Amino acid sequence: MNISALGEFELIARLTAGLTSRADIGLGVGDDCAILDLGNDQLLLATCDSQVEGIHFTLRTSTPEQIGRKALAINLSDIAAMGGVPRYALVSLILPPQLPVAVLDSIYAGLRLEAEQYATAIVGGNIASSGKSDQLTIDITLLGTVERGQAIRRDGAQVGDILCVTGSLGDSAAGLHTLLHPDPSYPQEVQEFLRTIHRTPRPRIHEGRVLSGLGSQVVTAMLDISDGLSGDLGHLCERSHVGARLDLVRLPLSPELHIVAVSVSHDPFQWALHGGEDYELLFTVSPGNEYRVIEAVQSTTGTRVTVIGSILPPDEGMRLLYPDRREDRLAVESWDHLKR
């Protein structure tokens, strides 16, 4: 049997079953970051994520600088998803020997730009050759910190909690669509808006900090949307042992997404529900606190927060409420790194 038959998440579960648990490990594999306890007030957050040419990016659809920025941004987003502060990055590059120095210079300039923007220091790394394979890989480990007791995990959602999301959904998937299927009929500014979100997602560090500052009695669980809303909601439900109901009509969709969806006759809710790489924060709030949370994030960061559903008992599974109040099971159609 090949690994593609198992898929990413089953494979991770298989490989990491029964891993060591220890007093100095607050949380191991299975969340956006590991939480490590070195005995001081600040806990350490650690995460790694890679970008592989031909799988996650191509030099045809992004500039080298954008590729560098995004490779760091997706890791910053994992720190954001715990409510932490990013601190240190280690950058591992696997490079085709024939790669032009100018391309690598630009990738690294993008990395450094993104790092500076979020006060993250590049403190280490590695360079290896990809040999005969002409595939460029950027693998980054990011370390951050969070105050003891303030990390927001995936597993804290309770029945009755309110489900919220930052920003808008599906823009990255729509932006990718305009890159893969160029069409002069898209208005220029619409396509630029969506492509920018796809190429250089903005990690929600400041928003995550506001949320973790509110305390785990208020914000009960959180992750970032990288695989797609349906898939990542599935991760949250699985780890919290709960179900959830998404209210389709409430999903925050940008005007730009609607414009492209109409133009190519694509269902915009498909992108919002299942499109990956939004890098927005999906989180749950204890009931009655939602307006306070929305106000806190919006007033501090200017980022919109939208209530999109609620947490149900586990036996209800994941459900989707249609505009006509019909309800159906929510199918997960999101990204699997091995199955595609």
* Window 127 to 156, contacts with a second copy (CB under 8 A): 127-133, 135, 137, 139, 141, 143, 145
By CB under 8 A, tell whether 180 contacts a second copy: no
The yes or no reply on residue 62 touching a second copy (CB under 8 A) is no
- The token pair at 340 is 């595609």
Q: In what order do the strands lie in the sheet with 327-329?
A: 219-224, 281-285, 162-166, 305-312, 243-247, 318-321, 327-329
Q: How far is the CB of 107 from a second copy (least distance, A)?
A: 9
Angle at 295 between CA 292 and CA 298, to 5 degrees: 150
Answer yes or no whether residue 23 interacts with a second copy by CB under 8 A: no
Q: Are strands 327-329 and 318-321 parallel, antiparallel or unpaired?
A: antiparallel
Among 67, 77, 79, 112, binds a second copy (CB under 8 A): 112
Residue 3 sits in the site that holds a second copy (CB under 8 A)? yes
CB 207 within 8 A of CB 85: no
What is the footprint of a second copy within residues 82-111 (CB under 8 A)?
87-88, 90, 92, 94-95, 97-102, 104-105, 108
Bridge partners for 42 per DSSP: 147
For residue 191, the number of C-alpha atoms closer than 13 Å in the C-beta half-sphere is 16
Of 49 and 207, nearer to a second copy (C-beta) is 49
SS3 204: coil
Quick one: which of 59, 63, 125, 316 contacts a second copy (CB under 8 A)? 125
Choose between 69 and 87: whose C-beta lies nearer to a second copy.
Answer: 87
**Least distance (Å) from a second copy to the CB of residue 298?**
31
Cβ atoms of 94 and 140 closer than 8 Å: no
d(CA 318, CA 197): 27
When asked if residue 121 is in the footprint of a second copy (CB under 8 A), the reply is yes
For a second copy, the binding residue among 13, 29, 249, 262 (CB under 8 A) is 29
Q: What residues from 220 to 239 belong to the interface with a second copy (CB under 8 A)?
A: none
How many residues bind a second copy, per CB under 8 A?
76
Question: Quick one: tokens of 224?
Answer: 């970032």
Closer residue to a second copy, CB minimum distance, 139 or 278: 139
Beta bridge partners of 190: none
Per CB under 8 A, 15 contacts a second copy: yes
